[in-house]
Amino acid sequence: MNGTSTGSEAAALIKRLDWAQSPLGEASEWPQSLRTAVDIVVHSPMPMVLLWGPQLTQLYNDGFAQLIGSKHPGALGQPAHHTWPELESFAAPVYDAVLGGQVRTFSEQRFVLHRQGCDTEIWLDLTYSPVRDESCRVAGILVTAIETNERRSKTLELQQRSEESLKAQHNTEQRLQLALAATDAVGTWDWDIGEDRFIADAHFAYLHGVDPNDSSLLPISAYLHGVHPEDRGTVTRSIKHCITHGTEYAEEYRLQQADGQVRWVFARGRCYKDHHGRPARFLGAALDLTERKNTEQALRQSQTELQLIINAMPVLIGYVDHDQRFRLNNSAYLEWYGKTPQELYGKTIREVLGDEVYAGRADKIAAALKGKACSFMTVTPHRDGRPRHALMKYLPRFSSDGSVNGFYIFVIDETERKLTEEALRHLNENLEERVAQRTQALAEANQRLQNEMFERERAEDALRHAQKMEAVGQLTGGIAHDFNNMLTGIIGSLDLMQRYIAAGRSDDIGRFADAAVSSAHRAAALTHRLLAFSRRQSLDRRPTDPNQLVASLEDLFRRTKGAHIELKVQLGKDIWPVNTDASQLENALLNLVINARDAMPDGGELLIETANSYLDGTDITTLEPVKAGDYVMLGVSDNGSGMAPK
């Protein structure tokens, strides 16, 4: 419900009831017309019951609950014929007439109801009015019931009252009857035409910009002043027509509020004449339509924007209902078939495609209407007369109850792609022949290139071997001299030890032995470096300290560089260990030292250094892909002439 809380028992029961188990379904899915009608019922001070839907499901207020006695609360949410089987003969023809759009009123109807533990005879004034939904079809019946037992018991007393009292009572009853007969009423009025005194309830007065305290003291012009200037003339003419011709008054119009806002209302009423046939009173009720109008405007705006979007799409978009009639087409769809919206709307698929094309798609159309989406390539007619290749998709549309009420059609023009594929196919056939002619020549050229690369690799290997042999040759002389010095130290120490032993002097023998051992250790270290340099084996990666490796090769570097070159070694602090083959790294460093030496025939400075480094990717220029991260730099630099351009 849209209204504010009333604190009534019936409203609370309506809110708590599990409507999913009722013919009306979930309350959250009720149409706005039903919500508005329920709101009117629960706020009404008079006993009211709303019968809604094909089964005339009952929703009522506290007044009606008190009226029906023991049938409450079981009647709430139940079809009327379940609750009132004893009234079938009376109610059935009334329901038929009202569902056909007529109003039925009954005065002083006698009923026997079980109330307060016993059957009680009551007399009721009844009004049955049709209630329409958003499509203006009659969807329910609003029943107002006024108990007249007390009025009947005072009939004699009322007959003895003065004419003025009788007139006042008659007018009051007329006003009440019309207010109750006016469906969807949330504000009521009673206009005394002769005295031009317009009596309205607080809500109606508030909507029309009238102070509720003055709602029964002002002429009708005060209320018309609150009507929007563009609608005021229409409302005035409609009221005059109703008074003149005795027709029902029903008008939608806008109200200009004091804060500048505009509200919509729907007013319904009727003019009643006195016993002389002159217009005497004009009674009616009004409903605030602002929320519904805003919703309709938002919906229209959304539909307009959606239509703009689908019209801008190059894809053909359409929708057909369960009868296979087109109900939606975008601009691309209309242009494809060369038709206007009016020419295509409502046409069947068979009428648009023709019998032959339709027969080819009948099975897919039937599948889509059974809820199965499908996608297929097809040839479809075009307004230019030439068939087009298209990718077509059918997407079913389901209603809230799970049934299929139609399907969407999406069409993508594949003609250009098909033509392109055909052209490429012909081109490929010609290319295959030319490629076959050149395959042999390319194979021969490739073989020659592989042979040349093999010879080049052999030459490069030979050159590297020669360079290494040259380095070894240069190293040999220095190593032989050093090794001879070490042997001289060992031999000399041993000779002195023999002499001292022969002379019986053993005091200094230990010193000579230490000298011999020291010379032997130096010789062993030199031999170890020579073995490391000379060995050739597969990669054996292990964690290696770069600083320790460079330091162990420093003597070898110094002997390789030559006397005319100054060697500097700069080892970084806390250098990270690296996972490498130490032997291969030693060879690489030695080759770099040899290259640097060759670049400085006239002498120079050779620098070997280590450092930790982080590469972020932008400063990596290697031929092989290298990830950004932490690296250790081993640098060999010289100030020689550099490499030749070629």
Q: What is the mean pLDDT of the chain?
A: 82
Q: Please provide the CATH number assigned to the domain covering 319-413.
A: 3.30.450.20
Question: pLDDT-derived band of residue 165, with 50, 70 and 90 as boundaries?
Answer: very low
Contact 337, 352 (CB under 8 A): yes
- Which residue from 554, 553, 545, 552 is spatially nearest to 573, judged by alpha carbons? 545
Question: pLDDT-derived band of residue 150, with 50, 70 and 90 as boundaries?
Answer: confident
Per-residue model confidence (pLDDT) at position 5: 47
Question: pLDDT-derived band of residue 459, with 50, 70 and 90 as boundaries?
Answer: confident
The domain segmentation of the chain, as residue ranges, is 1-160, 162-312, 319-413, 539-646
Sign of CA dihedral 24, 25, 26, 28: negative
Per-residue pLDDT tens digits for 67-115: 998 899 999 999 999 999 999 999 999 999 999 999 999 988 888 888 7
Between CA 641 and CA 4 the distance in angstroms is 96
Single-letter residue type at 5: S
Per-residue model confidence (pLDDT) at position 510: 77
**Lookup result for tokens 């006397």:** 563
Higher pLDDT, 640 or 374: 374
Is 539-646 the same fold as 1-160? no
Per-residue pLDDT at 528 exceeds 60: yes
Q: What is the mean pLDDT of residues 494-502?
A: 77
Per-residue pLDDT tens digits for 35-68: 988 888 888 888 889 999 999 999 999 989 999 9
Single-letter residue type at 167: K
Per-residue pLDDT tens digits for 355-381: 988 999 999 999 999 999 999 998 888
Per-residue model confidence (pLDDT) at position 645: 57
Per-residue pLDDT at 336 exceeds 80: yes
**Lookup result for tokens 């207010």:** 179
State the architecture of 1-160 in CATH terms.
2-Layer Sandwich (3.30)
End-to-end CA distance of the chain: 91
Q: Please provide the CATH number assigned to the domain covering 162-312.
A: 3.30.450.20
Collect all residues with Cβ–Cβ distance below 8 Å to 120 and sequence separation of at least 6. 69, 112, 113, 114
- Which residue from 39, 55, 43 is spatially nearest to 8, judged by alpha carbons? 43
Per-residue pLDDT at 530 exceeds 60: yes
Q: Please provide the CATH number assigned to the domain covering 539-646.
A: 3.30.565.10
Per-residue pLDDT tens digits for 533-583: 565 445 678 999 999 999 988 887 887 777 888 999 999 999 999 999 887
Q: Which two tokens stand for residue 116?
A: 């307060």
Between CA 277 and CA 272 the distance in angstroms is 9
- Which residue from 199, 165, 221 is spatially nearest to 269, judged by alpha carbons? 199
